[in-house]
Amino acid sequence: MLRRLIARHRSWPLATPFRISRGVKHSAEVVVVEIRHGGIAGRGEAVPYARYGETVDSVLGQIGLAKGAIASGINRAQLDELLSPGAARNAIDCALWDLEANRTGSSVAALLGRTPPPALASAQTIGIDTPERMARAAAQVATLELIKLKVDACDPGTRIRAVRQAAPDARLIVDANESWTLDLLRELQPVLAEARVDLIEQPLPAAQDEALSGFVSATPICADESCHVAADLPRLRDRYQAVNIKLDKTGGLSEALRLLKAAREGGFRVMVGCMVCSSLGIAPAFHVARDAEFVDLDGPLWLRRDRDDGVRMRDGRLHPPAPGFWGGAGVAPSQPPDRRVHPGASA
């Protein structure tokens, strides 16, 4: 029996605008893949990311080109050979994990030899704004264990200090999204130390991060845009002390798990992050994030309305979706119908 693949674009409006150094988001534009086999389905979600040359149409096009191979029954290892790392492979890879769990009556956790993933202390992100507004936003989440703040090259020190004053006890991640220079990073060392920042995320552009070779920072530096897959790690060794694993970069849970293992063996600290997406894009990441020092999976918390039975923040911890939402171990809940089926992506 052939498998049937359906890919759709779905737009999720945000509750408030999400500002980073590269621009402002007002909605999460995601691609959802469903693979059906014998009346059983597996689902995956991915976010096409312009920074990596992706659009909704390009990702749907990649998925459409893979539909024949998916219908014939390729496995996840063969998928890695068919598609390069990125959003298209992520959506399909996660759908294949979900399908296997559902077909075997098991769960992804069990397939990995693990217990179900626990609730995690996830960061909540404060987007770029005036220092006063960022401080107010920080005060609202000051009791959380971990806060992440977005900055650019425009007076980041004042914003960092404002957030720290409003949230004196939280661990802080500062994410510059490639907007700094090495000179600015040097200049900010006293501020980072004074504010007790735990991690600086991707301060320099990925194409220029060789400048970090040999640089000793008061705060560990984490590679985000510079690190996609396990093969990237050797060249990052003398530049970064941590890596940010995102399934949309690795091309799915399969490579994310390989990157996690390689990072651990290479002495890197591990952060697991996400794009702004629904809970369907976050559920697989729990299986990597459970072993990370830094967790940043708040993407669905930015949505005006998330999927039913998705993640929930309670008592400062992000709880996984309900059983059966993704990854087996239950009856998958019904979902609102997705719209805008791509004409070339169903088989």
Summarised one tens digit per residue, pLDDT across range 99-113 is 999 999 999 999 999
Relative to beta strand 197-201, strand 171-175 is parallel
pLDDT at residue number 329: 74
Where in the chain is CATH 3.30.390.10?
4-111
The pair phi, psi for residue 179, each rounded to 5°, is: -95, -5
Provide CATH code, domain 124-319: 3.20.20.120
pLDDT in tens, 280-304: 999 999 999 999 999 999 999 999 9
pLDDT at residue number 330: 67
Catalytic hit among 25, 67, 148, 246: 246
pLDDT at residue number 133: 97
Catalytic hit among 67, 148, 150, 249: 150
State the helix-helix crossing angle for 56-65 and 87-104, rounded to 10 degrees.
50
Catalytic: 150?
Answer: yes
Tokens matching residue 5: 């693949």
Q: Measured between alpha carbons, how far is 157 from 155 in angstroms, rounded to an integer?
A: 5
| Residue spans of alpha helices (H) in 105-209 | 108-111, 131-140, 156-166, 182-187, 189-194
pLDDT at residue number 24: 85
In this prediction, the residues of the chain whose per-residue pLDDT falls under 50 are 331-347
Pick the CATH number of 4-111 from 3.90.1330.10, 3.20.20.220, 3.30.390.10, 3.40.50.300: 3.30.390.10
